[in-house]
Chains A and B, each alone.
Chain A
Amino acid sequence: LEAAVSRARLLVTVAAFAAAVWGLLVFAVVKPVSPTDFRRNVLQVATSAYDASRTGWLAGRQVLAGQLFSPFAQTAFDDAAKTLSGATKQFGSESPPTAASRQLRDALAPLLDSAVRKLGDASSASEDGDDAALRRAVDDLDRVAGQLDDFIEVHR
């Protein structure tokens, strides 16, 4: 009987612990977004966009220098595009809670848009073997990456 009681106690403790963890997770998911959370989210998006732009820039430069073979270059651009697409999705997942948050969103949106376009340009130019277009796209990616870096530094 004693063994059965202690086993039941153990089961209740484990169940209570699991319920508490589950409750915390539910709270974390449904709680309203605070300005601090939103700012953190925006900064994460900007950082991911910066990483993608810089990687695209680096890959483009290596293609121009003849250091990469085509399937690898395409994969590198695809990986950068995937990072950027994840960032864009994350950017659209939360509504800004305050006017200041809206300003932050409006400052980042054009940079994100520009990064998506320029990365696409670089990828297409690399695939087509158009060095002049690739050089232009690489320069543009450098510029966008610089702007994203400034944005991150200002709002960190």
Chain B
Amino acid sequence: VKRLLAVALGVLTAIGGFVDIGDLVASSQAGARFGMAHVWVVVLGVIGICAYAEMSGRVAAVSGRPVFDLVRERLGSRVALANLAGSLLVTVLTLGAELGGVGLALQLATSVNYLLWVPVVGFVLWVALWRVKFDVLENLFGLGGLALVVFIVAFFRLHPDTATLWQQASHPGPPHGEDWGTYWYYAVALFASALTPYEVFFFSSGAVEERWTAKDLSQSKVNVFIGFPLGGLLAIALMATAAVVFHPLSTSVDSLSQAAMPAAMAAGKLGLAAAILGFFAATFGAAVETGLSAGYTAAQYFGWAWGKLRRPAEATRFHTVVMISIAVGVLILLTTIDPVQLTEYSLIFSAVALPLTYLPILVIANDRTYLGNRVNGRLANALGMIFLVIVLAAAAAAVPLMIITRAGGG
């Protein structure tokens, strides 16, 4: 029973922890402007993150070392440095976006401007990463993120025209008034929101922190192959509710208050409270993950002592990088850049950095020196290669699409 409970908890936290500010913003925006025409991108992104998260979990569990640690050893310091520069930049940018998301969620509940919340949230995050146990953070915010299930409930309570939604989903493309450039811009953003680089670094480093071994591989697979797709379902629910409420009105979604509106329309104040709680937990949980990921990547590249489970005095430089990353995230927001806009930029730059993250994972997952007979099978390699091609295409297209479409403005 204890084992079953642990598995269930792992799956539930994987579901709740899947959604972050990128998914909240990109899914709602895409649903409002394009209906369900991008649902295939979410499905594709979920398959991609499942394939690569499984690989990085396996690498960590079998070798006992996180992916980034092995990247430097296996591919040399130059490739690892490019990887570090790209992923650290994107991770800190994403951390800023997540902190902004927490501030916006608090603003929805209190009407106090998010900028006043941001320094407080940054401080609380730093204290939480310093003092609170790893599994407490993971379970608390993972389970809190499950409140986003309210969007699945809202979808059914809004009595959607399923025939129209199916028509949109089965005929991908821009509707009247939109163009292909903008359609692909949002496709790249949605794809990047599912495959953000920090997720695999956090996943593999977390596995090492929790001392996974080859015996834990089945638990890892259950978390990935059940938790992530169900988490993806939450992202689809956000898209679907925006498609039901905003798309028929031809109205864009540019704020978190708009993203929460369908929950209020369908389930009243209780639904709204659940949506805000879900936003808060999802963004704070992701801020925990991005903050730690920044520390993980830097410490693992430079060979410093690292780990949330180590006392700050034993991993000083790791904790310093985490602290500086949080401070940078807060400072980015204090320039008064709109957090939603920051999220859009972080997604596009994530897309650019994706190959730097995913190519090394594929290489290491095929290396018998580290994995013995647990290297990738044919299916994992086929999926890995297919997604590598997609990731390269998304990386090449991201910035040109951003310029051509004026960041989705059309």
A residues sitting closer than 8 Å to B (CB atoms) are 44, 47, 50-51, 54-55, 58-59, 62, 66-72, 74-76, 78-79, 82-83, 149, 156
| A-side contacts of B254, CB under 8 Å | 51, 79, 83
Q: How far is the CB of B220 from chain A (nearest CB, A)?
A: 39
* A71 & B261 in contact (Cβ 8 Å cutoff): no
Pair A76/B258 contact, Cβ less than 8 Å: yes
Q: Whole-angstrom distance from the CB of A33 to the nearest CB of chain B? A: 15
Query: Cβ of B272: which chain A residues have Cβ within 8 Å of it?
Result: 67-69, 72
If A59-B261, A67-B272, A156-B177 touch, whether A72 touches B255 (CB-CB below 8 Å) is no
Q: Tell me the interface secondary structure of chain A in the complex.
A: helix
Prevailing SS type, chain B contact patch: helix
Chain A proximity mask over B80-114: 1 for CB below 8 Å, otherwise 0 = 00000000000000000000000000011111000
Residue of A nearest to B264 (CB): A67
Interface presence of B251 (CB below 8 A)? yes
Closest to A59 in B: B261
Q: Does B249 contact A (CB under 8 A)?
A: yes
Once A44-B410, A50-B251, A79-B257 are accepted as A-B contacts, the answer to whether A67 and B269 lie under 8 Å apart by CB is yes
Other than the given A50-B250, A76-B255, A149-B250, 16 more pairs (CB < 8 A) read: A44-B409, A44-B410, A55-B258, A58-B251, A62-B261, A67-B264, A67-B268, A71-B108, A71-B109, A72-B276, A75-B107, A75-B111, A76-B258, A79-B257, A83-B254, A156-B177
Roughly how many angstroms separate A68 CA and B273 CA in the complex, as a whole number?
A: 9
The 17 sampled A-B contact pairs (Cβ below 8 Å) are A44-B409, A50-B250, A51-B251, A51-B254, A58-B261, A62-B261, A62-B264, A66-B268, A68-B269, A71-B110, A71-B111, A72-B257, A72-B264, A75-B108, A75-B111, A79-B255, A82-B255
Q: Closest approach, in angstroms, between the C-beta of A68 and any C-beta of chain B?
A: 5
Beta-carbon contact of A51 and B252 below 8 Å: yes
Which 6 residue pairs spanning A and B have beta carbons closest together?
A: A71-B111, A79-B255, A76-B257, A74-B111, A54-B251, A67-B264
CB distance from B279 to the nearest CB of A (A): 11
Residue from A50, A69, A72 having most chain B Cβ neighbours under 10 A: A72
Nearest-neighbor residue (CB-CB) of B32 within chain A: A51
B265 part of interface (Cβ distance < 8 Å): yes
Q: Give the interface centre of A47, A50, A75 by most chain B CB atoms within 10 Å.
A: A75
Which residues of chain A are within 8 angstroms of B261 by Cβ–Cβ distance? 58-59, 62, 76
Q: Which of B255, B269, B273 has the largest count of A CB atoms less than 10 A from its CB? A: B255
Assembly CA distance A78 to B249 (angstroms): 20
Specify which chain A residues have a CB less than 8 angstroms from the CB of B108 in the assembled complex. 71-72, 75
Q: How far is the CB of B25 from chain A (nearest CB, A)?
A: 13
Give the distance in Å from the alpha carbon of A75 to the alpha carbon of B410 in the complex: 27
Chain A residues with CB under 8 A of B265: 62, 67
Q: Which residue of B lies closest to A24 (CB)?
A: B403
Q: Is B190 an interface residue (CB 8 A)?
A: no
Output the least CB separation between A30 and chain B (Å): 17
Please tell me if the beta carbons of B252 and A75 are within 8 angstroms of each other in the complex: no
| B260 touches A (CB below 8 Å) | yes
Binary per-residue interface labels of chain B (241-265) against chain A in the complex, 1 for a CB within 8 Å, 0 otherwise: 0000100011110110110110011
Q: Which residues of B contact A76 (CB under 8 A)?
A: 255, 257-258, 261
The proximity string for B residues 135-171 relative to A, scoring 1 for CB distances below 8 Å and 0 otherwise, is: 0000000000000000000000000000000000000
Q: Are A72's CB and B410's CB within 8 A? A: no
Chain B residues closer than 8 Å to A149, beta-carbon distance:
250
Distance from B174 Cβ to chain A, minimum over Cβ atoms (Å)? 14
Whose C-beta in chain A lies nearest to the C-beta of B256?
A79
Cα A62 to Cα B265 in complex, Å, equals 7
A122 to B374, alpha carbons, bound, how many Å?
63
Which residues of chain A have C-beta atoms less than 8 A from B406's C-beta?
Answer: 44
* Chain A: CB-nearest residue to B251: A54
Q: Which residues on the B side are within 8 Å of A59 (C-beta)? A: 257, 261
**CA A74 – CA B107 in complex, angstroms?**
10
Chain B residues within an 8 Å CB radius of A82:
255
For B249, give its contact among A47, A54, A66, A70 (CB under 8 Å).
Answer: A54
Tell whether, in the assembled complex, residue A72 and residue B252 are in contact, meaning their CB atoms are under 8 Å apart: no
